[in-house]
Structure formats: structure tokens, C-alpha cells
Structure 1
Amino acid sequence: MLRHCESRFAEWRLPPSSTITTVAQELSRRRGRPIHLIPLALGADQPSGLSLTLPTMDVVAYEAETSRTHQEHIIAHELAHIMCGHTGSISIDENVARLVFPNLDPGLVREMLHRAGYGDEHELEAEIMASVILRRMNARPERAGPTPPAEVQEVLDRLEKTFFSDGDGS
């Protein structure tokens, strides 16, 4: 599944310096419909993000009260559901329903969102695709220019390992 997700995302040819907003804009362009990223204070007892496919737009709501890194992960995960064509829903309470759709009856919103849930396979695929997106966004820039002296290169290597480590020490 990892190779499939990497291959699928590589077709987009986004530059490594892309942001999560760039990814959302490209997905919006490819789908021919707007994607709205909406920060909400969802609370600890609610999912940290959700995506809704509406007739004329897509909506990604994400937890506003968390770090930017966590927000990017949530958004990437929800965009991945959209990219992969997943349909489904999550369980939300009345307060969150009112935040997302203030002009609709919260009971109707909950009922609409309860129709179907993502299966484990869809969650796994979305999580892997989100990791691919984030890894691409955080890719190390290509080095250009002359090779620094050995003592400088050693310091640069340590800094690179510290700031660009992908979690396995590389």
C-alpha cells in the first residue's frame, strides 16, 4: 500500500517545498471544486478532523487547539480520504455539529454523518497517504554549491540528522 500511495502522489509532481495548503489547492484543482480548510475547537472527546464531500465543495475541519504540526497531519489525513475517494463518516456530538453547520439542525447533521463509517482499510490507506504527503512536504532540500571542509560537513551532518530525521535515525 505504501508503494501504491507513493506512486499515486508522485504523479502530482509537487515541489518538495509544497505546504499543506498547496496540496489542498492542487487537489481542489484536480477535482474541479473548492476545498475549504476550517479550524475548529473540536475538543479532546471528538475526532481531531473530518472531511465532508458536499454537492459543490469539500470541507476539511481540523482541530484548532493543537500544534501546527499536528494540524498538518490531521489535514493531510483528511485530504488523503478525499484523494483516495473514500466516503464515510464519523460520530460527532451536537456541539460539533453546530460548529460545522450552524444553520442546520444538529440531529440532521449527526444522522447524515452516521450513515457509513470508514473501514479500517480506508483509515490505513489515508494514514499512509498522509505520511507520504507530509514526508514529501518535509523532504530535505538538494545541496548545491561546493563541498564544505570536513569539520564543517560534520557539523552540518549532525544538524541535518537532528532537524530532518524521519524517526529512524536517518
Structure 2
Amino acid sequence: MVADLDLPKPFDVGEFCERLSEKRGRRIVLVPKDLPPHSPCGLCVSTHDTDYVFYQAATSGPHRLQIILHEIGHLLCGHGTETVMDEATSRALVPDLDPEMVRRMLARTYYAKEEEAEAETIATLIFTEIGDYAHDRTWTVPDDATDVVKRIIKSLDGGDEAI
């Protein structure tokens, strides 16, 4: 699944969402919010043609990206939703609307543990693919360390790959 995502290089989450929106035929709108303590770090609200990905704005860049990718993981896996939004989360997301109406109409996404694990796996696979340690990254080994590095690589995977 991750191999088919056409991840932009260098990675840009906005461009990724545009590409994915085009592929799925549904808009993805990223919405940073300062979510209250003890609320979810992210959630996805879907309308008939748009998926809104709300994510915690008040956290580090890598954590924000992991939250966004986790919610996108739910979208990619086609996970369902049911209503379980509390008033504090409702007010944080859309402060001008009555929280009860928001709970009834939009809903916070609630997933089973298996779906959470699946979404987190997708997010982690994407994050690994685009991160500093992605498999296609290379680095330079100083001449005086080449023999040691080769021995370490060989002992770890039995290979004798060029450095």
C-alpha cells in the first residue's frame, strides 16, 4: 500500500495530501488546532466529498506529521466512524458552533484497537520511507573507518554491500 502512494521527494505533507486527494477523488483538508488536554491528538471528520484531518498544532513537527499520517492511515484503510466527540474537543475544533450539534453532525472518529494499530503501522511505514533513515539514503564513511563499518554491516545482515 505505501509503495503505491507516490510520496513527494523531498516530502511535503501538503503536496502528499494533494496527490492523495487526486488519487482518491476526495479532498483532504489539514486543520491544525490547539486541542484540549486529554483529547485525541488528531481525528478525521468526513463529509460527502472532503476528509478533514484535525491535528494537534501545539506539538513538535515530527509528532504533528506522525499524527497527520496516522489519520491518513485510517482513510487509506477505509476505517469507519461513530460519534463520540466530547464538548471540550467540539469547542476546540469549531468554537462558534453548539457542541451538541457538532457531536451529532460531525462526530469524532472512533476506531477499534485493531484499526488504530493498522493506521499507526501505515503512518510509521510512511514516516520511515520519508524520514532521515529511509532505505535509499546514503552517507559517506571516512576512509579510516571503512573496514570497521564493512565488518559491522556484514555481521548485521550477512551482506558485503559497497559503502
Q: TM-score range by the shorter chain?
A: 0.7 to 0.9
Shift of 1:10: 0.4
Counterpart pick for 1:53 among 42, 46, 58:
46
- Matched residue, 2:7: 14
Gaps of 5+ in 1: 1-7, 158-170
Equivalent pair of 1:92/1:110 in contact (CA under 8 Å): yes
Q: Which moved more, 1:83-92 or 1:31-40?
A: 83-92
CA change 1:87–1:152 in 2 (3 A) is same
Which residue of the partner structure matches residue 94 of structure 2?
101
Give unmatched runs, 5+ long, in structure 2: 150-163
| Residue 124 (structure 2) pairs with residue 131 (structure 1) | yes
Q: Between the two proteins, what is the percent identity of the paired residues?
A: 35
In the TM superposition, residue 98 of structure 1 has moved relative to its aligned partner by 3.0
Map 1:19-30 to 2 at 5 A.
19-30=12-23
RMSD: 2.6
What TM-score does the superposition give when structure 2 sets the normalisation length?
0.75
Quickly say closer, same or farther: Cα 1:120–1:46, change in 2 above 3 A: same
For 2:141 and 2:129, the matched residues in 1 are separated by 26
Q: CA deviation at 1:65?
A: 0.6
Q: TM-score, normalised by structure 1?
A: 0.72
Write the distance in 2 (CA, Å) between the matches of 1:148 and 1:109.
Answer: 56
* Equivalence for 1:88: 81
Deviates more, 1:88-97 or 1:64-73: 88-97
The one-letter code sitting in structure 2 at the alignment partner of 1:69 is: P
Q: Give 2:33's match in structure 1, choosing from 25, 40, 43.
A: 40
Q: Does 1:78 align with 2:77?
A: no
Report the count of equivalent residues. 145
- Structure with larger RCO (C-alpha < 8 A, sep 6+): 1
Structure 2 partner of 1:151: 144
